[in-house]
Chain A
C-alpha cells in the first residue's frame, strides 16, 4: 500500500514537472536575464556582437563574413539564423536573454510597432548617411530606427531555354514568338495553357513549379502575390501618395482585385508540376528544385532565389537562360507593370544592450557596407542590391536575377510595383489567408470563402 501511495505521488509530480517545463521555458529567461551571464559568454566590453539573421538561404555566407571580420578586427560576431518563418518567434525568445541579439531585423513599419521598445535611434550613424534614398528607412518622428540593407525584386522567373523550345514548335497555338511579346495576362495565359497541352514535347512536368502551400512555405502567395492586387487597390486611394501609407490607413480592405489574384493563382495551380490536392506538402525548396532540374519552366520568386537554383545538384538551367517576367494579373495596366521591387529587410540595433555593443554592432554593419572587403561580400556572395551610395556601379551583383531586377528597374515606361505588403496587418493575417488558399487549392473551399477569409482577417487583425 505504501509503495502505491509513493507511486501515486511520484506520478503526480511527474505530471506537474512536465507542466513546469512547459511554462518554465518562457520564464527561465526572466530568471537568467537579471543575473550576469555565465563565464563562457561574459560581456567583455564589446568583445562579441550577436546578429540574428533572417535569411536562411545565405546563412553560411554570414558565418564566413563573421570569421573574416573577427580576424580583421578581433570583434567576434555571433551569427544565428532563424529557420524560415520563425524569425519573430526566435527573436522574442532571444531578446529576453542576457546574451541578446545586438543586431536584429524588422520587416518595416508594422514590425517596428512590435519592437519599438528595443530599437536604437540610428539617425547619427554613418550607416544612415550611406543610404542613397533616406526615405526608405523606418522613421518615427525625428528618429531613424530601421535601415534597409537590400533592395529585392520578384516576379515570375522563367527558363528561357524551355520557352525558346516552345516558341520553335510548329504547332504552337499562339502567335507570339518570344517572351518580349508576353506583356499581359491574356498572352501569358494563352502561352502557359498551350505549353501545358504540349508538356511532353517540351520535356517538362508542368509549366509552373509547385505552388508551395505547406505550413511556413506560403509566403510567396499570401504575401508576395497578394501584394499585386493590393497595390492596385491602395493606389486607387488617392488621399495618399504612397500605397504603403494608404494600406496602413485601411481598416477594412475590400480585396477589390480578388479576381485578378484568382486569375494568376488559378493559372499557377492548374498548370503546375503537382496536382492541386498535393500542394499542401510542397515547400519553396521543392519548387525551386523543380525549376533548377528543368521540370518546370516558370516559378514565382525573387532574386534571392538565385542561390537556391544554383546550388541544386543536377541543375540543368543555364545562368543566361534565367529571366524575369512581371506577375501579370489581368489589370489594365499589365503592359506597363514591372517587377515588384522593395524591401522588407531593415536592420535595427538593440537599444537594451550595452552602448559598447551597440557601437560595435553599428561598426560591423558600416564595415560590411562600406569597406572594400565587406562590399565584395555583399555584391558577390550575398548578392544584395544594396541601397547604399557606397556602392559604385561596378559593384552591383552579377548574378542573373539581380541583373534582371536592375534591368527591369531601368526599362522605359515600366513602373515597378512597390512592396505594399509592408502594410499588411500582421503575420497572423497572412497565415489565415495562406490557409484559405491551401483549402481553395485542395478544393475544400470556394473562392468566395477565400475572399471572405481575407477581408475578415484583415479587419479583425487591424482592430487589434
Chain B
C-alpha cells in the first residue's frame, strides 16, 4: 500500500503541482527577478542590481506607509479580536435570537472591500459634514475610519470561528470548574480561553494578515488622502508600480520586502500562539 502511494504520488499530485507552479512559483520567481531590474512592461526588463531596493528604502513614503500599516495592524488586531470574542461569548449563551444575530454579524463579510469602502466613505463623510470636515481633513479620520470599517467587516467572521471554538469546550470541564468554586471570570480565563487557543491562533493570524495586506478598503475609503498620510503598504506598492513611470522596479522591490515582512510576522506569531495551545 505504502509503496503504491509512493509510486503514484507524482501522478496524483501533478495537477496541483502544475497549477501551483503556473499560478504561484513562476510569477513569484519572476517577481523577485523583476525587483532587480528596470522595466516599463514586464517584457523589456534591464538588470540594475540592488538600486531598486536602495530607492525603496530611501523613499520616505514607503517608510511612512510601513509605520502607518504597523499602527493600523496593532490597533485593528486588538479591536477585532476583543470584540469578536465578546460577541462569540454573548452568542453562545443560548439566548433567544442567537441565530439571527449570528447571521447579521456575519453578513458584512460577504460584501466586497471596494463597495464597503465607498459605503463607509459616504457614511463617515456624512457624519463629518456636520462638523465641517471630511475624511481628508485629517489623517486620523482616515485611520479610525479604516479601523471601524475593518472591525465591521471582520468581526462577524472571527466571531464564527470563536463560536465554533467555544462550543467545542466540553461541558464537563466547565462543570468541574464550577464545582471547584471557580467564578465565571475564572472559568473564562482558566478554562475557556486556553481551550479555544486554536481558534485564537487562527483569528489572530487572519486578522493580522488581513490588516497588514489591506488594499481595497484603503483604496476606496481614503486612497491615501490627505497627502498620502493614510497610505498603507499595499497601496503604496500599487501607487509606486502603476502611478510612477520608471518606478516599476522599485514597486516590485517594495513588494518583495512586503512579502518577507508578512511571512516573517506571520511565522513568529504562529509560533508564539502555538506554544500556548493546550490539548483539549
Q: Which residues of A contact B (CB under 8 A)?
A: 1, 4, 7-8, 11-12, 15-20, 22-24, 26-31, 33, 88-89, 92-93, 95-96, 114-115, 117-118, 213-216, 275, 277-281, 426-428, 431-432, 435-436, 438-439, 442, 444, 464
Contacts of A18 in B (CB 8 A): 209, 213
Task: Give Cα A92–Cα B132 distance, bound, in whole angstroms.
Answer: 39
- B residues 249-280 with Cβ under 8 Å of A? 252, 255-256, 259, 262-263, 266, 270, 274, 277, 279
Tell me if B259 and A19 are in contact (CB < 8 A): yes
- Contact A24:B243 (CB < 8 A) given known A277-B137, A435-B227, A438-B136: no
- A residues within 8 A CB of B227? 432, 435-436, 438-439
Contact A426 B244 (CB under 8 A): yes
Residue of B nearest to A86 (CB): B242
Instruction: Give, as a whole number of angstroms, the nearest-CB distance from B175 to chain A.
Output: 25
Residue B179 CB within 8 A of the other chain: no
Number of residues in B with C-beta < 8 Å to the partner? 55
Interface contact A117-B209, CB-CB below 8 Å: no
Interface pair A280/B41, CB less than 8 Å apart? no
Separation in Å of the A99 CB from the closest CB of chain B? Answer: 14
**Among A7, A215, A275, A277, which residue has its beta carbon within 8 angstroms of that of B224?**
A215
- Bound Cα distance A278, B125 (Å): 9
The listed residue (A15, A24, A438) touching B209 by CB distance below 8 A is: A15
The CA of A28 and the CA of B242, in the complex, are separated in Å by: 15
The answer to whether A281 and B125 have CB atoms under 8 Å apart is: yes
Bitwise interface map of B from 19 to 43 toward A, beta carbon under 8 Å scored 1, else 0: 0001110111011001000001111
Whether A280 contacts B132 by the Cβ 8 Å rule is no
The docked-state distance in angstroms from the alpha carbon of A272 to that of B209 is: 44
Q: Decide if B198 is an interface residue (CB 8 Å cutoff).
A: yes
Closest to B279 in A: A1
Question: What's the least CB distance linking A399 to chain B, in Å?
Answer: 33
Q: Is the CB of A278 within 8 A of B134?
A: yes
Cα distance, A428 to B225, chains bound together (Å):
14
- Verify B42–A96 contact, CB threshold 8 A: yes
Chain B residues with CB under 8 Å of chain A are 22-24, 26-28, 30-31, 34, 40-44, 125, 129, 132-138, 198, 202, 205-206, 209, 213, 215, 223-228, 234, 241-246, 248, 252, 255-256, 259, 262-263, 266, 270, 274, 277, 279
Question: Is the pair B205, A11 in contact by a Cβ cutoff of 8 Å?
Answer: yes
A11 to B41, CA, bound (A): 33
Q: Which residues of B contact A7 (CB under 8 A)?
A: 198, 202
Distance (Å) between the CB of A444 and the closest chain B CB?
Answer: 7
A427 contact set on B, CB distance < 8 A: 243-245
In angstroms, how far is the closest chain B Cβ from the Cβ of A115?
A: 8
Q: Is the CB of B136 within 8 A of A30?
A: no
Task: Tell me, rounded to whole Å, the shortest Cβ–Cβ distance linking B108 to chain A.
Answer: 20
B223/A215 in contact, CB under 8 A: yes
Is B134 within 8 A of A280, CB to CB? yes
- Among A7, A33, A281, the most chain B Cβ lie within 10 Å of the Cβ of A281
User: How many angstroms between the C-alpha atoms of A19 and B234 in the bound complex?
Assistant: 10
Contact call B223/A216, Cβ cutoff below 8 A: yes
Contact check, B137 vs A464: say whether CB atoms are below 8 A apart: no
Shortest CB–CB separation between residue B158 and chain A, in angstroms?
A: 14
CB-based contact A20/B266 at 8 Å: no
Query: Among A8, A278, A431, which residue has its beta carbon within 8 angstroms of that of B133?
Result: A278
Give B205's nearest chain A residue, CB to CB: A11
Are A442 and B226 in contact (CB-based, < 8 A)? yes
Q: A33-B42, A278-B133 are in contact. Are A27 and B225 (CB under 8 A)?
A: no
The residues of A that contact B255 with a CB separation of less than 8 Å are: 22-23
- The docked-state distance in angstroms from the alpha carbon of A275 to that of B133 is 9
- For A426, the chain B residues whose CB sits under 8 A away are 244-245
Docked-complex contact B34 and A281, CB < 8 angstroms:
no
Question: Which chain A residues border B241 with CB–CB below 8 Å?
Answer: 26
A15 to B211, CA, bound (A): 12
With beta carbons under 8 angstroms apart, the residue of A8, A27, A214 that contacts B270 is: A8
Structural contact, A92 and B242, CB atoms closer than 8 A: yes
Contact, CB under 8 Å: B125 / A92: no
B244 to chain A, nearest CB (A): 5
Asked if residues A26 and B202 are in contact (CB atoms below 8 Å), the reply is no
Q: Smallest Cβ distance from A116 to chain B, in angstroms?
A: 10
Asked if residues A117 and B44 are in contact (CB atoms below 8 Å), the reply is: yes
